[in-house]
Chains A and B, each alone.
Chain A
Amino acid sequence: MARPRLAVLKFASCDGCQLSLLDCEDELLAVAGAVEIANFPEASRSILPGPYDIALVEGSITTEHDAARIREIRDESLLLVAIGACATAGGIQALRNFAEVGEMVRAVYARPDFISTLATSTPVAAHVKVDYELRGCPIDKGQLLELISALLAGRRPVLPAHSVCVECKLAGRVCVMVAHGTPCLGPVTHAGCGALCPGYHRGCYGCFGPAETTNTASLAAQWQALGASGRDIKRAFRTFNAAAEPFRREAEAHD
């Protein structure tokens, strides 16, 4: 049987999520043996045309060119997986959605007329049908390997949609918010990191975006009770997953 053909492709992003695959040092050669790496420019100059069985897509859509390119990739991919906060929510660069992009371009570039970019940074799903999503800024290596294994085995990947809070309890950590009064986004943030930040005496800062069901208003009230200002709360929700709907709404409530 022919090996499934894998593409790993990039839009506006930091390269960190596709690097997660190269960071699977123990599994990389095994994965490369189980699939045909057909198009993965960060790793290989051998770039083969589609169709692809699995396309892992990193990054958000911020240019007209990329908006057209993602449609082409969808057309030639059997399964399209959006990986990381940029691809699933627009990423940190979606902060432009809340400002005037022309002014931002003028602030960075001496010749704004050389720059062509859209007013918004949007997730892949805003443009084409997405089959699976891996959350996170960056994605979790364990979840990436689970996804690849599941797709190769023809089963659905196990990707819990509960909150970081649940992971934190499972890890037996002390709640940083209850015990130390540290504001934490864990109750509303999607699982996947293994509740990393509370393990480092830090509040969750929302890398994995909103969990399946969230009560952001209640959490914001708790943050206020701990002394956080409206500006702090707005900043917390408006960072790496600023354009994800529950986070967007809660940030707006503190404008």
Chain B
Amino acid sequence: MTETTKRIRVEMLARVEGEGGLEVDIADGAVQSVRLSIFEPPRLFEAFLRGRAAAEAPDIAARICGICPVAYQMSAAHAIEAAYGVQPVPEVRALRRLLYCGEYIESHALHMVMLHAPDFLGYEDGIAMAAAHGELVKRALAAKKAGNALMRVLAGREIHPINVRLGGFYRLPGRAELLALQPDLARARDDSVAILRWAAAFEFPDIERDWELVALRHPTEYPLNEGRIASTGGIDIAADAFETVFEERHIAHSNALHAVVRDRGAYLTGPLARYALNFDRLPAHIQALAREVGLGPVCRNPYRSILVRAIETVFVCEEAMRLIATYRPPQAAPPAVVPRAGTGAWATEAPRGLLWHRYEIDSDGTILSARIVPPTAQNQPAIEADLLDIARRRIDAPDDVLQLACEAAVRNHDPCISCATHFLRLTVNRR
């Protein structure tokens, strides 16, 4: 190391799910490259799903991620049902959307206040932030609890729910037990509006990104479980065409695979993409709430993703209340789920982005091959591009300031590294 060289190293990126680090190479006063290294150990899900019963896949795939197990259960169940030609009954469809609402409330509330907000207010964590912002932290925890309670009633527990099966649920809830959740969901809705207004006063760096935004698009709904894969670059495909448009590349510094749009490169999935492509699917009063805090129909500033998550949280609280109010237990017996040989693919919207699954299944219901493309693997090239720009803007800052700026740039995206490993350490090398 000479005078023009310096090295900063952050071994463990905090307040993200899973283990990873950052590496920034700086030579002669210029940032050369930035990379997100994922050292979360490989767990090899796609390999050991081979030979398992397709009926086991929702429970096994859930174990990829303790933060968004419902996303894994949903993508797996839908993909296998697609292979079998099974269509869930409307009541099951509504309950699955309801379960997903619970996971959004829990995951977004945790990220907004405990993981993301401390970066804007200069705290090490949400607990330290509670000393000065106790009321907001308590309201976020209460909202999170309401989401978890919904998951518990509907599916047994909030982490690795036990009630999801191919075709539907092991036990369908009664109306009374769902209706009992309504008061807490109404409070969680108000708490989410309070979080939105509180976060709207944060100082946001003035940054706009020109990424291609990729999300589901549904004819009538804000997408969770269903829709075609659409993008701001004109992509409009069914889930089974995913591999013709997107490819995964394996990069040396990472235990995760990077996904790119063929011939175009990095893209972004997650709240910013979902919101931009589906603003018109939000009820008018929620659109008005977004405008009130300065959000247009498209938000390309990753820092402002906290506002978009808050808007989504308000929406899913209301959506959950609507689904509960209109729920009637199904009268007809669920359709028989009979294995048949074939391939099924499906994408759902995990809280942090598009989650695509494909299963090839034998005639006796045995999985022959499985492919899972999690949101963070898709977002990793865009996150790295973001990091590169942030590091260049802050290159003259002291190392600890540069490090915090880089960490915050990653946390903007709520990466789930456990998922991507199938996916961090900050190292700044100044030469």
Please list the residues of chain A having a beta carbon within 8 angstroms of any beta carbon in chain B: 10-20, 22-23, 25-26, 28-29, 32, 37, 41-47, 62-63, 65-66, 91-93, 95-96, 99, 101, 103-105, 107-111, 114-115, 117, 137-138, 193, 196-197, 199-202, 205, 207, 232, 235, 239-240
Query: Are the CB atoms of A10 and B19 closer together than 8 Å?
Result: yes
Contacts A16-B67, A110-B257, A202-B162; A45 near B124 (Cβ below 8 A): yes
Q: Give A231 to B266 CA distance when docked, in angstroms.
A: 43
B45, B66, B110, B165 — most chain A CB neighbours (10 Å): B66
Query: Are the CB atoms of A108 and B15 closer together than 8 Å?
Result: no
Q: Give A15 to B115 CA distance when docked, in angstroms.
A: 14
B158: nearest chain-A partner, CB-CB: A23
B392 to chain A, nearest CB (A): 23
Q: Give A194 to B102 CA distance when docked, in angstroms.
A: 22
A142 to chain B, nearest CB (A): 11
B56: nearest chain-A partner, CB-CB: A235
Contacts A43-B114, A43-B127, A108-B42; A207 near B160 (Cβ below 8 A): yes
The 4 closest A-B pairs by CB, nearest first: A16-B66, A44-B125, A104-B47, A45-B14
Q: Which residues in A have their C-beta under 8 angstroms from that of B407?
A: 45
Set A25, A108, A239: member contacting B56, Cβ < 8 A? A239
Q: Give A8 to B77 CA distance when docked, in angstroms.
A: 33
B93 at the interface (CB under 8 A from A): no
Subset of 25 A-B contacts with CB under 8 Å: A14-B65, A15-B66, A16-B65, A17-B159, A20-B159, A23-B144, A41-B15, A42-B14, A42-B15, A42-B16, A43-B14, A43-B15, A44-B124, A44-B128, A91-B63, A93-B43, A96-B48, A101-B44, A107-B50, A108-B45, A108-B422, A115-B255, A137-B63, A138-B157, A196-B157
Q: Give A207 to B388 CA distance when docked, in angstroms.
A: 42
B residues 39-95 near A (Cβ < 8 Å) are 39-48, 50, 52-53, 56, 59-60, 63-67, 69
B170 at the interface (CB under 8 A from A): yes
Set B15, B64, B144, B148: member contacting A14, Cβ < 8 A? B64
Q: Which residues in A have their C-beta under 8 angstroms from that of B124?
A: 44-46
Query: Are the CB atoms of A235 and B162 closer together than 8 Å?
Result: no
A101: nearest chain-B partner, CB-CB: B44
Q: Which residues in A have their C-beta under 8 angstroms from that of B148?
A: 23, 25
Q: Give A196 to B157 CA distance when docked, in angstroms.
A: 8
Query: Are the CB atoms of B257 and A47 closer together than 8 Å?
Result: no
Please list the residues of chain B having a beta carbon within 8 angstroms of any beta carbon in chain A: 12-19, 39-48, 50, 52-53, 56, 59-60, 63-67, 69, 106, 110, 114-115, 124-128, 130, 137-138, 141-142, 144-145, 148, 156-160, 162-163, 165, 170-171, 248-252, 254-255, 257, 407, 416, 418, 422
- How many A-B pairs with Cβ below 8 Å? 189
B110 to chain A, nearest CB (A): 6
Contacts A108-B42, A110-B249; A42 near B170 (Cβ below 8 A): no
A27 to chain B, nearest CB (A): 10
A42 to chain B, nearest CB (A): 7
Q: Which residues in B have their C-beta under 8 angstroms from that of A25?
A: 141-142, 144-145, 148
B148: nearest chain-A partner, CB-CB: A23
Query: Are the CB atoms of A105 and B44 closer together than 8 Å?
Result: yes
Q: Which residues in B have their C-beta under 8 angstroms from that of A92?
A: 43, 45, 48, 60, 63
Query: Are the CB atoms of B156 and A29 closer together than 8 Å?
Result: no
Q: Give A250 to B420 CA distance when docked, in angstroms.
A: 33
Contacts A14-B418, A110-B257, A240-B63; A104 near B48 (Cβ below 8 A): yes
Query: Are the CB atoms of B18 and A15 closer together than 8 Å?
Result: yes
Contacts A104-B48, A200-B170; A29 near B127 (Cβ below 8 A): yes
Q: Which residues in A have their C-beta under 8 angstroms from that of B45?
A: 92, 108
Contacts A43-B114, A138-B66, A235-B52; A11 near B41 (Cβ below 8 A): yes
Q: Give A10 to B171 CA distance when docked, in angstroms.
A: 34
Contacts A10-B19, A45-B407, A95-B48; A16 near B43 (Cβ below 8 A): no
Query: Are the CB atoms of B125 and A109 closer together than 8 Å?
Result: no
B421: nearest chain-A partner, CB-CB: A12
Set A17, A96, A199: member contacting B156, Cβ < 8 A? A199
Query: Are the CB atoms of A44 and B162 closer together than 8 Å?
Result: no
A92, A99, A232 — most chain B CB neighbours (10 Å): A92
Q: Which residues in A have their C-beta under 8 angstroms from that of B53?
A: 232, 235
Q: Which residues in A have their C-beta under 8 angstroms from that of B43?
A: 12, 62, 92-93
Query: Are the CB atoms of B15 and A15 closer together than 8 Å?
Result: no
Set A32, A91, A99: member contacting B127, Cβ < 8 A? A32
A229 to chain B, nearest CB (A): 10
Set B42, B138, B156, B249: member contacting A117, Cβ < 8 A? B42
Q: Which residues in B have their C-beta under 8 angstroms from that of A43?
A: 14-15, 114-115, 125-127
A104, A108, A201 — most chain B CB neighbours (10 Å): A108
Q: Which residues in A have their C-beta under 8 angstroms from that of B156?
A: 196-197, 199-200
Q: Give A93 to B48 CA distance when docked, in angstroms.
A: 8
Query: Are the CB atoms of B160 and A138 closer together than 8 Å?
Result: yes
A211 to chain B, nearest CB (A): 18
Query: Are the CB atoms of B163 and A200 closer together than 8 Å?
Result: yes
Query: Are the CB atoms of A114 and B66 closer together than 8 Å?
Result: no
Q: Give A199 to B162 CA distance when docked, in angstroms.
A: 10
Query: Are the CB atoms of A29 and B130 closer together than 8 Å?
Result: yes
Q: Give A37 to B63 CA distance when docked, in angstroms.
A: 26
Q: Which residues in B have their C-beta under 8 angstroms from that of A66?
A: 41
Query: Are the CB atoms of B159 and A62 closer together than 8 Å?
Result: no
Contacts A45-B124, A197-B156; A109 near B66 (Cβ below 8 A): no
Q: Give A196 to B12 CA distance when docked, in angstroms.
A: 36
Set A44, A47, A201: member contacting B171, Cβ < 8 A? A201
B44, B137, B249, B254 — most chain A CB neighbours (10 Å): B44
Q: Give A17 to B159 CA distance when docked, in angstroms.
A: 8
A105 to chain B, nearest CB (A): 7
